[in-house]
Amino acid sequence: MGRWTSGPIRARRPWTPRPSPSPLNTDDVLRIRRAAGVALDRYPGAVGQLIASELLDYADQGFRGDPEGLSERLIADLLGVATPRT
């Protein structure tokens, strides 16, 4: 039975090491917090609160995730910018 998920989520083999995370700088934290504010405006109610909460947790963890990961793609979509590339 095939999986419905495809793309960057399944592109990496399970045994391939992930790149080590880099620390977030102040500009990155501000960008993530700005995206959380946009999420609250764009998606009123529980959905916007959930997205904003997850993004704020991401900013609070202090390390940047995979540039093509879900969090970074969501931030790029909310801020209307191209997905970051390494």
On the question of pLDDT at 3 being above 70, the answer is: no
Write out pLDDT tens, residues 19-57: 666 788 889 999 999 999 999 999 999 999 999 999 999
Average of pLDDT values for 11-19? 61
Tokens for 5, please give them.
């998920």
- Identity (one letter) of the amino acid at 34? R
Tokens for 26, please give them.
């102040």
Residue 20's alpha-carbon distances to 4, 13, 33, 44, 79, in angstroms, are: 28, 16, 23, 35, 25
